[in-house]
Amino acid sequence: MKLHKLLVLMAATVMSLSLSAHTLRSPQGVLQLNVELNQKGTPVYELYRGEQTVLRPSSLGIEIKGGKHFTEGFEIDTVTYSTFDEEWTPVWGEQATIRNHYNEMAVQLFQPATKRTMVLRFRLYDDGLGFRYEFPYQSKLSYFIITDEKTQFALTGDHTACWVPGDSYTQEYVINKTRLSEIRGKIASMSFNPTYNYLFSPTGVMTALQLITDEGLYLNIHEAALVDYACMHLDVDDKNWVLTSYLTSNARGEKCHMQAPCHTPWRSIIVADNACDVLASNLTLNLNEPCAYDDTSWIRPIKYVGVWWEMIVGKSAWSYTRELNNIHLDNVDYTKLKPHGRHGATTAHVKEYIDFAAAHNIDAVLVEGWNVGWEDWFGKEKEYVFDFQTPYPDFDIDEVNRYAKSKGVQMIMHHETSASIRNYERHIHKAYELMNRYGYPAVKSGYVGNIRPVGEHHYGQWMVNHYLWCVTEAAKYKIMVNAHEAVRPTGLCRTYPNLIGNESARGMEYEAFGGTPADHTTLLPFTRLMGGPMDFTPGIFEMDISKANPNNKNRVHSTLARQLALYVTMSSPLQMAADLIENYERFPDAFRFIEQVALDWQQSIYLEAEPGDYVTVARKEKGGERWFVGCSVDERGHTAEFPLSFLDKGVKYKATIYADAPDAHFLENPQAYTITSRTVTSRTKFSQLCAPGGGFAVIIEKL
């Protein structure tokens, strides 16, 4: 292995670009990019960090239908350099202001055989590179169909990778941390469902892909601003360590319908010499366009509880009846059907959640299963599966909303589409109107199941278009969107900040579906979260799921203290306190943390991190003086040690520490936690033991 790698590196040196290449340096000179055409007229780029090669010569190109590919035969027409430096203010997020500072090189290519022009635009930051293909308005190119994008990332060796399989259906996988060379074997050992899963390659993976080189570089490959284009996966050449882009197909095997002037999303790679800097990078957001909305006053972070976990664990049900073996939605009178008695979303039960929210500083209540159709929502590829309008007989939508309003609590709407896209689009305006009528500020939408129309996939261009359309239509109604099972985010929340959440990864629910390894929440920040916040739904206090449903023997792979930490380690403007009320009432002191934790941040400081091991971050609330620190660790446990130098100097603070008890263990003793207070200052060296599968959460307030 070692010898092999050495040879590859030598080859890389030989293949290195000539001095005639066009070169771009990042603002501080940390990164250097070279771009040139090879002998075939194919554009090739390489990336260095100081003396270290990040990417060996990597070719770029796009293949199109019925025409000469944009892969070779190019001449360089012009190379234009520019620089950009600004601070911008996100509506919500990990930082109150973000600096966007890059040097840019636009390489205009001309293909004499077709008289067509393509521009490669590179933006080089000190912490990474973004580039995209652009097709300007021109006489010889208007409409074209992309059949393949051949963007290479030629790595320097068999890096360690944090990855999930490259599926067109779901991202809800356990995140693997292996060598690139181990991906093939790992995927081969996994079981997939041929009805749903579609893997494009035996070595295909999704982005964001976190890589760690043996030399200690942390690389993170993703895309930014995925708009009206197919989602990019990566095909791993596990002999030569070259990653090549793969785009999700439509029913005809094509990838993207394009119309010049147009461009691809940004392909991005974050480069850092430590893991914290990867998490702190704003590259993905910076590569997105500024906010598209004039008025964003209606976009507000939300903390919520809901009628949800009880269905996930199997204590109650989304559905209302078992009397029929199928439901014709346009021809059913639920009031004449015998209820099965396990329906969760009843008026009385929802009021309990409203009462709880009102008593505990929780903004809102989500209710799933409020609307008719849940009896046969899944696996039927049913077209007219929901109407998003009609409540079950035992859910009095008028009364629920009246009651919530009287308690100062908001309601969160739920639209499961069952991936029947036309049906959702046909009903969406009336559904949004209903939300406006009652004052619902946000909707959780879902896309479970195979896409209807068949032939389209969750991550193809047609669906990418749909997800964003729902968000921009929602904005017309001042509605925030939290879309589950949608394509993983790519920083679009900068442009469309009413996209306040996505799932698009394995969330807490899988703890009730079979379980998730304890290191999962130390890997998510390096993968799924690179593109935007996740509605992970933390806050489970009862790890033994059989206590809620004796038939469900699963358990949550976490200590209780770590559940609190997740509100900090996985930043999101939308945070659920996901557990049952009864479990929160058993641990009111621990729940105090969830009540208090902020949702929006002035500043975030990643204190220590190693993908798959631990993540520790301190965040200062926006509009306040409190700091919150969270730490989530893997099954081996960890002692976090860091200075509190981020605190104001000369000021005394009270730190309230929600930690694992010394005998805590995510499997054996997960509910053993301690809550302690101490005085700290900017000079305090903080140290805290985390149990296996544990973590801690801290509130630091000025005394």
CB of 369 to its own copies, least distance (A): 20
Tell me the two tokens of residue 20.
């005639």
Q: What would the x/- binding string for its own copies be over residues 395 to 424, using CB under 8 A?
A: ---------------------------x--
Instruction: Work out whether 380 is an interface residue with its own copies (CB under 8 A).
Output: yes
CB of 143 to its own copies, least distance (A): 5
User: Residue 10 or residue 324: which is nearer to its own copies going by CB?
Assistant: 324
Angle formed by the axes of helices 347-359 and 397-406, nearest 10°: 20
Instruction: Work out whether 455 is an interface residue with its own copies (CB under 8 A).
Output: yes
C-alpha angle 556-557-559 in degrees, rounded to nearest 5? 95
CB 262 within 8 A of CB 118: no
In angstroms, the CA 375 to CA 323 distance is 10
Active-site residue, 595 included = no
Q: State the DSSP code for 142.
A: S
CB of 142 to its own copies, least distance (A): 4
In angstroms, the CA 327 to CA 384 distance is 10
Task: Return the exposure string of 304-342: e unless at least 16 CB atoms fall within 10 Å of the residue's CB, then b.
Answer: bbbbbbbbbbbbbbbbbbeeeeebebeebebeebebeee
User: Residue 94 or residue 375: which is nearer to its own copies going by CB?
Assistant: 375
Q: How many residues bind its own copies (CB under 8 A)?
A: 33
Instruction: Work out whether 322 is an interface residue with its own copies (CB under 8 A).
Output: no
CB of 455 to its own copies, least distance (A): 3
CB 16 within 8 A of CB 38: no
Instruction: Work out whether 325 is an interface residue with its own copies (CB under 8 A).
Output: yes
CB of 259 to its own copies, least distance (A): 6
Instruction: Work out whether 323 is an interface residue with its own copies (CB under 8 A).
Output: no
Q: Is the dihedral of CA 429, 535, 192, 548 positive or negative?
A: negative
User: Residue 495 or residue 632: which is nearer to its own copies going by CB?
Assistant: 495
Check 509, 542, 610, 621 and give the catalytic one: 509
User: Residue 76 or residue 329: which is nearer to its own copies going by CB?
Assistant: 329
Instruction: Work out whether 371 is an interface residue with its own copies (CB under 8 A).
Output: no
Tell me the two tokens of residue 323.
């009397």
User: Residue 111 or residue 420: which is nearer to its own copies going by CB?
Assistant: 420
In angstroms, the CA 187 to CA 574 distance is 33
Using the rule CB under 8 A, which residue among 72, 134, 376, 608 binds its own copies? 376
The window from 27-35, 125-133, 244-252, 440-448 that contacts its own copies (CB under 8 A) reads: 244-252
Q: Which of 631, 632, 628, 673 is nearest to 653 (CA)?
A: 628
Which stretches within 328-389 are classed as H helix? 347-359
User: Residue 244 or residue 250: which is nearer to its own copies going by CB?
Assistant: 250
> Could you please report the per-residue DSSP string of 50-87?
TTEEEEEEEE--EEETTS--BTSS-EEEEEEEEEEEEE
Hey, is 511 helix, strand or coil?
A: helix
HEC sequence for 554-608: CECCCCHHHHHHHHHHCCCCEEECCCCHHHHHHCHHHHHHHHHCCCCEEEEEEEE
Hey, is 37 helix, strand or coil?
A: strand
Using the rule CB under 8 A, which residue among 108, 250, 268, 498 binds its own copies? 250
CB of 168 to its own copies, least distance (A): 14
CB of 380 to its own copies, least distance (A): 5
In angstroms, the CA 158 to CA 5 distance is 7
User: Residue 158 or residue 375: which is nearer to its own copies going by CB?
Assistant: 375
In angstroms, the CA 334 to CA 324 distance is 10
Instruction: Work out whether 175 is an interface residue with its own copies (CB under 8 A).
Output: no
Instruction: Work out whether 257 is an interface residue with its own copies (CB under 8 A).
Output: yes
Which of positions 136-155 make contact with its own copies (CB under 8 A)?
A: 137, 139, 142-143, 145
Instruction: Work out whether 462 is an interface residue with its own copies (CB under 8 A).
Output: yes
Instruction: Work out whether 134 is an interface residue with its own copies (CB under 8 A).
Output: no
User: Residue 430 or residue 685: which is nearer to its own copies going by CB?
Assistant: 430
Instruction: Work out whether 426 is an interface residue with its own copies (CB under 8 A).
Output: yes
Q: Is 72 exposed, middle or buried (0-12, 13-18, 19+ CB in 10 A)?
A: middle
Instruction: Work out whether 338 is an interface residue with its own copies (CB under 8 A).
Output: no
Using the rule CB under 8 A, which residue among 260, 492, 524, 672 binds its own copies? 260
Interface residue list for its own copies (CB under 8 A): 137, 139, 142-143, 145, 250-252, 254, 257, 259-261, 324-326, 328, 376, 380-383, 422, 425-426, 429, 453-456, 462, 465, 469
Residues with active-site annotation: 509
